[in-house]
Structure 1
Amino acid sequence: MVTQAPANTAIPAAPPPMQRYGYEQIKSNPPPPPPKLVRMYSESASQPVDYALKETSPYLGGGRVVGGRVLHTDKASSTYDLVEKMHFLFVRVVKARDLPHMDLTGSLDPYVEVRIGNYKGVTRHIEKNQNPMWNIVFAFSRERMQASVLEVVVKDKDLLKDDFVGFVRFDLNEVPLRVPPDSPLAPQWYRLEDKHGDRIKSELMLAVWIGTQADEAFPDAWHSDAATPVDSSGAASTLIRSKVYQAPRLWYVRVNVVEAQDLAPADKSRFPDAYVKAHIGNQVMKTKTVQARSLNPLWNEDLLFVAAEPFEDHLILSVEDRVGPGKEEVIGRTIIPLNMIEKRADDRIIHSRWFNLEKPVAVDVDQLKKDKFSMRIHLRICLDGGYHVLDESTHYSSDLRPTAKQLWKPTIGVLELGILNAVGLHPMKTRDGRGTSDTYCVAKYGHKWVRTRTIVDNLSPKYNEQYTWEVFDTATVLTVGVFDNSQLGDKGANSKDLRIGKVRIRISTLEAGRVYTHSYPLLVLMPNGVKKMGEVHLAIRFSCTNFVNMLYTYTRPLLPKMHYVRPFSVMQLDMLRHQAVQIVAARLGRAEPPLRREVVEYMSDADSHLWSMRRSKANFFRLMTIFAPVFAVGKWFGDICMWRNPITTVLVHVLFLMLVCFPELILPTVFLYMFLIGIWNFRYRPRYPPHMNTKISQAEGVHPDELDEEFDTFPTSKNPDLVRMRYDRLRSVAGRIQTVIGDIATQGERMQSLLSWRDPRATAIFVTFCLIAAVVLYVTPFQAIAALIGIYMMRHPRFRHRLPSIPINFFRRLPARTDSML
């Protein structure tokens, strides 16, 4: 374990970097310019400067980022060109042999201590073994090295004081530099020396080299910048390493319960009130009870579940009888292994099968033999792989492919992410009387989740780790979250990792081949309002590998074919999405180190479907922003009709008459106008990925009580009076929404009633008008009719009346179905 030595440890003077590391020093680069704020999409979406995105120009991979390109100045730059190159001293401790007997009993409990300056790494001790094997890699950050000599000491673990066995000393001037794709450095046997510097018989196998984070030993190494005395016992060593996780492939389990045959309930004097209960793991679903009771009930219902490969659970179906309020009895049960169920990747028909129902408890052996094959259930079961399993919110989906791999399309590009550093992080815990954080980052895209190493006790951590994903669709989202590791303290596994913030980046908003280097604010909504928890610095690049396939994806359906051939209801989607998130969280929580449930749920937006007054207002204002141009055009046309600006009105009349006289120019004019607007807006195009916006989210001026309601548990944990007040408020808001929806429905029903003879007089008038209009339009040129209508609409105000027009009066008198509402 890597620990920091006491402060009074003697630290030799450090030589110059060139002499210390034995390789050519990289030319020092001038400090990058300060970050600049980027332009928002519109002025209405602007937010406080402290919450805005900042564009940076860091030095990545040996070169500076200028104009979205990395200008390399280091000839030895590797494929890790989206992160700052960091050098580490790697020490691989493999094994030892022929160690001497140290105790009076002749036993030896050896361990190895690797020391450089004021940092040291300690392996675990192996009891009673003179030829131990460790195979552990230590990594010491170049920035924190305070000495030019590396010491590897072998010691014997004792109760009072550990005994010295021997040591090996290395001069860092002689340590070789290894740059991938060079082969790993082969470990060698080194003779140990005693306290007097004399060679002894014992040997230690080591490999010592200097490398970067591109080294394959980097993820599994124990880092000096990620380990401190808080985990000196070694219990939490695996909790701080960087790892790549593969989320399980999820399948929909579709169970069509057709019927049952020859049921034998316990009470022979009555027909059973039967239903079928099915469960897979923690997922439980039931069919409806049959109205016409019989011993051969017919349900024909679909039950849907989510299952993950490899299939570990069983599908358990039981036919139960509701014998009374809150009392059920199991009539029969069958257990079906999931790996025995047929897989389906298309919309072909699955043949049904009969399964035997067995009694849950055998009371009489003769009766069991008699009834064993008498009860049966008719099922149609399959594993549907033609769907995209919604394991996350559809708006933020990172993978739209179906589960069945044979349906996957070729890749269209590669997404590269460099997690550089974080600055200004808010302290999430206290240690030794001061605020601190033990942070790590998690990135999720497709089936691949990645986790950086945990940087302990640092509010400005440097990660400099780079990851790569294949891209199959540009309408997907990369999510990066920052968390505080709460497993390193005294509470251990009982505490939850705290969320610091996250960033979403849609791939379709990225230009191909460009490097985006921005500092993203980490904004978190808390019960007391929105709070900035710091900033995370990312470098992102999307590289297109097949331009034709990428353009072709814009013509394909967003979801796989089965979502449209056999669609799910909204209730089913919500239930399946929730179950999918729970399964992914359970599977990733079994990895080492585990990706905890709170992390998976936060990254997957598991609670986005819950009610929130703030989200409702945000969506309402989003809708108003969408319709704002329509309202603006209506206002502009009203000013034209009212002759507010006579010159503009006359020009509009002239343009209108030209289009009427030459109707073939209407569509070309419309498309030419949209083309010119698009070309004009090109100069104002966004040059950065979208990010969290507090103004759009209605998070700046939200009422504290609304925030308290949003953070309430489900079901609620508040007192009844507060719940009653919030319920009344919700009824008021929902009442206004219901009124608006009802008004829209009323207008549509009035349109339908024009020809439905619901009002015979109104329909007769409208039918007569249609006949007259058909005759007039047949004998009158279309240009004349269009010109008269347009001029009438734009007539001068002196020819207008304040009362509604005849068509509006007629339409408002049409009947709707409001009379049929209770």
Structure 2
Amino acid sequence: MDEAAHVCSDYRPTARQLWKPPVGTIELGVIGCKNLLPMKTVFGKGTTDAYVVAKYASKWIRTRTVSDSLEPRWNEQYTFRVYDPCTVLTIGVFDSWGVFEADNVNKETTRPDCRIGKVRVRISTLETGKVYRNTYPLLLLGHNGTTKMGEIELAVRFIRLSPTLDFLHVYSQPLLPLMHHIKPLGAVHQEMMRSTAVKIIAAHLTRSEPPLRQEVVLYMLDLDSHAFSMRKVRANWFRIINVIAGVIDIIRWVDNTRAWKNPTATILVHALLVMLVWFPDLIVPTLAFYVFVIGAWNYRFRSRDPLPHFDPKLSLADTVDRDELDEEFDTVPSTRPNEVVRIRYDKLRTLGARVQTLLGDLATQGERVQALVTWRDPRATGIFVLLCFIVAMILYLVPSKMVSMAFGFYCLRHPMFRDQMPSPALNFIRRLPSLCDRMM
């Protein structure tokens, strides 16, 4: 039930009777653009006829088209009602062909409006009543890599209408209406309905005044965001590594503490262990206070800019291979030569083999844990069950504080008292059977 940022702009039910009062309003000021690149050539001159489209919930707005200007100014202001602060306002810039088609200057067939770039604003990042006026780059990813198409100047302000407690209460409410949680739709049905809804909206907006072309609506709603891309696969992998980097740092700190690389820190950890073992009621308050200290320390490093533009470094757009970009923008079915498709297929098979190996390793570890009590290996299960019985008897007779103290001091013992070989428990786990030997 977790939607991407470009999908979440409205969580209200379809029935208006179930709508709740708005929690605030978002004011958007579209000031202008700077340093736009020429998007077409007319009478031997490079020109751009830019206009801006903004979308929030079911409301779409379109500015007027400024003809033949690389630094257009609109100075237009719009207001949107906000029913949930954890939603996204999308602003896109486009180049129009409509002016020349209406004047019959272009004798060719109707051309689609060109993308220039877009910016997303997450409402929850805005402080109440503060005006954010900044200039943001318009980045566009194409076959030749990332291109800076220009800059857009925006002014944004969020005004809260509901009391503070009611506004904070929204964070504890379910995102979607009740029926979506009672009878959730599968991933396949969600994708089919999303694609159909986008086509219906595009057909409806083409008949609006002023009309929005289909290519504009598809770009604003990111209909092709779920298409396969080797670049996105690598980028998401690095995102996962970045998320678990904190866990890796904690594991590294524990290893350094156990290795006595900093004797003072290790002694302090011993004292903390003694305090928490003898006063277990302090464990939860200590963890909560530690999280509070981390949050308070990171407060001064918070982002001052609520409109972060698209990050080429995070997206790996600056280092991606040209062939991967060509593959990303290729249609389905592919229109490339058979030799190119074969090379890409072989590369995809190599990536699939790595994923297959990783999934197999995860399944193997889980099956080994299951084998502890399923008697797949009678001797290993007998040893494990007997050890569990002995541990249970010891814990019945010996106070748990003494056991925890002994276990903690055993783990923090000096390296000179520690064997360099893997522990017996780890060796025991590795010797357990899994179902991989039954795989064909």
TM bucket normalised to smaller: over 0.9
**C-alpha deviations, 1:94-136, integer Å up to 9, x for none?**
xxxxxxxxxxxxxxxxxxxxxxxxxxxxxxxxxxxxxxxxxxx
Cα distance in structure 2, aligned partners of 1:423 and 1:492: 30
| Counterpart check, 1:597 vs 2:214 | yes
Partner in structure 2 of residue 804 of structure 1: 422
1:432 deviation in Å?
A: 3.0
Partner in structure 1 of residue 103 of structure 2: none
Aligned residue pairs: how many?
A: 433
1:641 deviation in Å?
A: 1.0
CA shift in 2, pair 1:493/1:478, >3 Å: farther
> Does the residue aligned with 1:667 lie in a helix, a strand or coil?
helix
Partner in structure 1 of residue 152 of structure 2: 536
Partner in structure 1 of residue 29 of structure 2: 418
Query: 1:674-689 to 2 correspondence within 5 Å?
Result: 674-689=291-306
Partner in structure 2 of residue 746 of structure 1: 364
Query: 1:42-53 to 2 correspondence within 5 Å?
Result: none
Query: 1:345-356 to 2 correspondence within 5 Å?
Result: none
Partner in structure 2 of residue 763 of structure 1: 381
Cα distance in structure 2, aligned partners of 1:393 and 1:784: 49
Cα distance in structure 1, aligned partners of 2:107 and 2:397: 88
Structure 1: 4+ residue segments shifted above 3 A: 392-396
TM-score scaled to structure 2, two decimals?
Answer: 0.95
Is the contact made by 2:34 and 2:151 (CA closer than 8 Å) also made in structure 1? yes
Is the contact made by 1:523 and 1:531 (CA closer than 8 Å) also made in structure 2? yes
| Counterpart check, 1:481 vs 2:92 | yes
1:758 deviation in Å?
A: 2.2
Letter in structure 2 aligned against 1:566? K
Is the contact made by 2:140 and 2:147 (CA closer than 8 Å) also made in structure 1? yes
1:817 deviation in Å?
A: 2.4
> Does the residue aligned with 2:9 lie in a helix, a strand or coil?
coil
Partner in structure 2 of residue 706 of structure 1: 324
| Counterpart check, 1:516 vs 2:137 | no
CA shift in 2, pair 1:770/1:394, >3 Å: same
Letter in structure 2 aligned against 1:762? A
Partner in structure 2 of residue 580 of structure 1: 197
CA shift in 2, pair 1:407/1:747, >3 Å: farther
Cα distance in structure 2, aligned partners of 1:538 and 1:483: 16
1:407 deviation in Å?
A: 2.2
List gaps (5 residues or longer) in structure 2: 101-105
> Does the residue aligned with 2:76 lie in a helix, a strand or coil?
strand
> Does the residue aligned with 1:513 lie in a helix, a strand or coil?
coil
Cα distance in structure 2, aligned partners of 1:794 and 1:720: 61
| Counterpart check, 1:631 vs 2:242 | no
TM-score scaled to structure 1, two decimals?
Answer: 0.51
Cα distance in structure 2, aligned partners of 1:770 and 1:513: 61
Is the contact made by 1:511 and 1:542 (CA closer than 8 Å) also made in structure 2? yes
Cα distance in structure 2, aligned partners of 1:491 and 1:439: 21
1:491 deviation in Å?
A: 4.9
Letter in structure 1 aligned against 2:410? Y
CA shift in 2, pair 1:540/1:492, >3 Å: farther
1:409 deviation in Å?
A: 2.2
CA shift in 2, pair 1:418/1:694, >3 Å: same
| Counterpart check, 1:819 vs 2:430 | no
**C-alpha deviations, 1:719-773, integer Å up to 9, x for none?**
1110010011011112112211221222222222222222222222222111111
Partner in structure 1 of residue 63 of structure 2: 452
Question: Which protein, 1 or 2, shows the higher relative CO under an 8 Å CA cutoff with sep ≥ 6?
Answer: 2
CA shift in 2, pair 1:654/1:395, >3 Å: farther
Letter in structure 2 aligned against 1:416? E
**C-alpha deviations, 1:421-467, integer Å up to 9, x for none?**
10000110112322110000000000000000000000001011111
Is the contact made by 1:393 and 1:604 (CA closer than 8 Å) also made in structure 2? no
Q: Give the aligned CA root-mean-square deviation in angstroms.
A: 1.6
CA shift in 2, pair 1:403/1:821, >3 Å: farther
Query: 1:14-33 to 2 correspondence within 5 Å?
Result: none
Cα distance in structure 2, aligned partners of 1:751 and 1:602: 47
Is the contact made by 1:417 and 1:468 (CA closer than 8 Å) also made in structure 2? yes
Letter in structure 1 aligned against 2:43? D
Cα distance in structure 2, aligned partners of 1:493 and 1:573: 35
> Does the residue aligned with 1:535 lie in a helix, a strand or coil?
strand
1:794 deviation in Å?
A: 1.5
Letter in structure 1 aligned against 2:188? M
CA shift in 2, pair 1:517/1:493, >3 Å: farther
Partner in structure 2 of residue 728 of structure 1: 346
| Counterpart check, 1:667 vs 2:284 | yes
> Does the residue aligned with 2:172 lie in a helix, a strand or coil?
coil
1:548 deviation in Å?
A: 2.6
CA shift in 2, pair 1:464/1:493, >3 Å: farther
Query: 1:65-76 to 2 correspondence within 5 Å?
Result: none
Is the contact made by 1:393 and 1:605 (CA closer than 8 Å) also made in structure 2? no
Is the contact made by 1:428 and 1:484 (CA closer than 8 Å) also made in structure 2? yes
1:493 deviation in Å?
A: 6.7
| Counterpart check, 1:607 vs 2:224 | yes
Is the contact made by 2:5 and 2:87 (CA closer than 8 Å) also made in structure 1? no
Cα distance in structure 2, aligned partners of 1:810 and 1:395: 48
Cα distance in structure 2, aligned partners of 1:668 and 1:623: 29
Is the contact made by 2:6 and 2:221 (CA closer than 8 Å) also made in structure 1? no
Cα distance in structure 2, aligned partners of 1:733 and 1:409: 48
Is the contact made by 1:393 and 1:606 (CA closer than 8 Å) also made in structure 2? no
List gaps (5 residues or longer) in structure 1: 1-387
- Structure in which a larger fraction of residues adopt strand: 1
1:666 deviation in Å?
A: 1.1
Q: Answer with 1 or 2: which has the greater Rg.
A: 1
> Does the residue aligned with 1:762 lie in a helix, a strand or coil?
helix
Letter in structure 1 aligned against 2:424? I
Cα distance in structure 1, aligned partners of 2:258 and 2:7: 45
Matching residue within 271, 285, 304 for 1:654: 271
Letter in structure 1 aligned against 2:138? L
Cα distance in structure 1, aligned partners of 2:38 and 2:367: 59
- Structure in which a larger fraction of residues adopt helix: 2
**C-alpha deviations, 1:579-613, integer Å up to 9, x for none?**
11111111111223320010000000000110001
> Does the residue aligned with 1:496 lie in a helix, a strand or coil?
coil
